[in-house]
Amino acid sequence: TAPTPVGPVPNARQIEWYHREIIAFFHFGMNTFTGDNEGDGKADPEQFNPAALDCNQWTSVLKRAGITSAILVAKHADGFCNWPTAHTNYSVKNSPWKDGKGDVVKEFTDACKAAGIKAAIYLGPHDRHDSRYGTDDYANYYADQLSELLRNYGPIWEIWWDGAGADKLTTAYYTRWADSVRALQPNCVIFGTKNSYAFADCRWVGNESGISGDPCWSTINPSSIQEETGHITELNEGEINGTAYIPAEVDVSIRPSWFYHPEEDARVKTVDELWDIYLKSVGRNSVLLLNYPPNKEGLVSSIDAQRTDSLRYLIHGTFKTNLASGARIKTLHPRGSNYKPSNMLDNNESSYYATSDAYTTDTIEVDLGSKKTFDVLMLQEVIELGHRTTGWSVDYSANGKSWTPIPEATGKQSIGYKWIVKCKPVTATKLRLRITSGKAGAAIHTFGIYKQQSIRPDGIAKAAI
């Protein structure tokens, strides 16, 4: 029989969310035209006028980067609305763009639909334009806009409740808004912060630099999300005995700022930096939310596009060949034939290895048959069964008698959806994964070793994939 789940487990939305691995953010709005990141809400709608807005260009960038979900800022804290909302005049309908007939949210959701990308929305809870901010009237206004967006633009995959400046918004307000999300878009993931903590499917990671903790548990005590200050470590690492399953979504911009500034064209994150962020977010049991700032024309710059092309080339090239596939594998405490050790090497998520219920530790020995050199190692737990393994290390050997620890893979704690270790190159014939502690017997669907793809200086990845 299958192992019994232990501790909090993910809901269906969270399981789907984890499988996206990388999702995109688009910060575009009045700030793009005023040169701000945090506009004061006083900018004239006359200033919003993209010359060549093309959301199909945005989605083509995502297609090339292999990114399948994207979040558009519909309204940032300056309050300017990128769609012709019925609930304020501070919107595109009073801008010169398309003579006031334009709708960025519509163009974005249509482009996503055409490209097979899941569309999502950031509707900034904080608002510097609307003088009702923080009152019940504002909560009604926000509720009206939320339902307008959730009713009129097809499936919305995620809603993003930024905690920035949102301290006046009570849990009672969020309760009402969350009810509306659940009623109108039952599958919509909620990024929750501060007073929306109770509805969060995923949490802030505690920084905007793209770095999850080591360990990084999917579980946390919701009070850590609500309080934030004083709980940055908990947001970053999760809490091993946390009462709720709320994994980290790691928001970081490909440029220094969230919005576009021409002077940052020379400061787009390099492929090395993006790879490091990937390893420290997706590779640490989190989802990476990578921001692109479209420019004043309404286009993603080609440099940003090339960098994420290269990132995809690197990810694909590295993980396409598991050097352990076909190896002989045996364990100390196997559960039985339905959960055999070789299930970890079959490249199939639905088959997994499990330890017998009598043990929370195990030793998994892999005989590669011949010498292999690798510098990346990956483990994936069966997340539906909860965080089980809480301590693990990997050693290697030439003869199966004397073992040498891999320093970067020693004393590790969490696994979760995916844990990647980048190490100095190791050449070995045999490997040993030691499960040193657990809340229950291990349940692992993938164990892999890989040689990192080298980085192409030209940043063009298409041909190789």
Shortest distance (Å) from residue 233 CB to ligand IPT: 15
**C-alpha span between 213 and 242 (Å, rounded):** 15
Residue nearest to ligand IPT (CB): 163
Closest CA to 415 of 135, 216, 204, 173: 216
Give the one residue of 26, 58, 80, 204 binding ligand IPT; rule: CB under 6 A: 204
Give the one residue of 44, 179, 208, 349 binding ligand IPT; rule: CB under 6 A: 208
Shortest distance (Å) from residue 262 CB to ligand IPT: 23
Do residues 465 and 315 lie in contact, with contact meaning Cβ atoms separated by under 8 Å? no
In the complex with ligand IPT, the residue whose CB is nearer, 66 or 222, is 222
Q: Which of residues 76-135 bind ligand IPT (CB under 6 A)?
A: none
In the complex with ligand IPT, the residue whose CB is nearer, 164 or 198, is 164
Closest CA to 284 of 343, 182, 221, 209: 209
In sequence order, the 6+-apart residues with CB closer than 8 A to the CB of 348 are 445
Give the one residue of 36, 214, 227, 228 binding ligand IPT; rule: CB under 6 A: 228
* Two tokens, residue 156: 């919305």
In the complex with ligand IPT, the residue whose CB is nearer, 242 or 341, is 242
In the complex with ligand IPT, the residue whose CB is nearer, 189 or 327, is 189
User: Count of CB atoms within 10 A of residue 131's CB?
Assistant: 12
Shortest distance (Å) from residue 210 CB to ligand IPT: 11
Q: What are phi and psi of 160, to 5 degrees?
A: -110, 115
* Two tokens, residue 384: 């539906």
Shortest distance (Å) from residue 4 CB to ligand IPT: 35
Give the one residue of 6, 164, 184, 464 binding ligand IPT; rule: CB under 6 A: 164
What one-character DSSP code corresponds to residue 37? S
In the complex with ligand IPT, the residue whose CB is nearer, 204 or 278, is 204
**Selected range binding ligand IPT among 75-83, 156-164, 392-400, 434-442, rule: CB under 6 A:** 156-164
In the complex with ligand IPT, the residue whose CB is nearer, 220 or 435, is 220
In the complex with ligand IPT, the residue whose CB is nearer, 165 or 334, is 165
**Selected range binding ligand IPT among 1-9, 59-67, 72-80, 162-170, rule: CB under 6 A:** 162-170
In the complex with ligand IPT, the residue whose CB is nearer, 264 or 375, is 264
Shortest distance (Å) from residue 263 CB to ligand IPT: 21
Give the pairing type, strands 244-245 and 328-331.
unpaired
In the complex with ligand IPT, the residue whose CB is nearer, 249 or 362, is 249
194 touches ligand IPT (CB under 6 A): yes
In the complex with ligand IPT, the residue whose CB is nearer, 102 or 238, is 238
251 touches ligand IPT (CB under 6 A): yes
In the complex with ligand IPT, the residue whose CB is nearer, 228 or 239, is 228
**C-alpha span between 70 and 278 (Å, rounded):** 17
**Contacts of 96-103 spanning 24+ positions with Cβ under 8 A:** 96/46, 96/48, 96/49, 97/48, 97/49, 97/50, 97/53, 102/53
String of b and e for 423-462 (b: at least 16 CB within 10 Å)? Answer: beebebbbbbbbbbebebbbbbbbbbbbebbebbeebebe
Beta-bridged to residue 364, according to DSSP, are 331, 433
Q: What are phi and psi of 375, to 5 degrees?
A: -140, 10
Q: What is the DSSP string of 201-256?
A: SBEE-S-SSS---SS--SEE-HHHHHH-TT-HHHHHH--TT-SEE--EEEEEESSS
Shortest distance (Å) from residue 205 CB to ligand IPT: 8
Binding-site residue total for ligand IPT (CB under 6 A)? 9
Shortest distance (Å) from residue 278 CB to ligand IPT: 18
**C-alpha span between 231 and 311 (Å, rounded):** 32
Q: Which x/- pattern, by CB under 6 A, does the window 390-429 give for ligand IPT? A: ----------------------------------------
**C-alpha span between 322 and 342 (Å, rounded):** 13
E strands present in 109-204: 118-123, 158-160, 189-191, 203-204
162 touches ligand IPT (CB under 6 A): yes
193 touches ligand IPT (CB under 6 A): yes
Shortest distance (Å) from residue 177 CB to ligand IPT: 15
Shortest distance (Å) from residue 118 CB to ligand IPT: 20
Beta-bridged to residue 450, according to DSSP, are 376
In sequence order, the 6+-apart residues with CB closer than 8 A to the CB of 312 are 64, 65, 66, 461, 465
Given the rule CB under 6 A, which residues bind ligand IPT? 162-164, 193-194, 204, 208, 228, 251
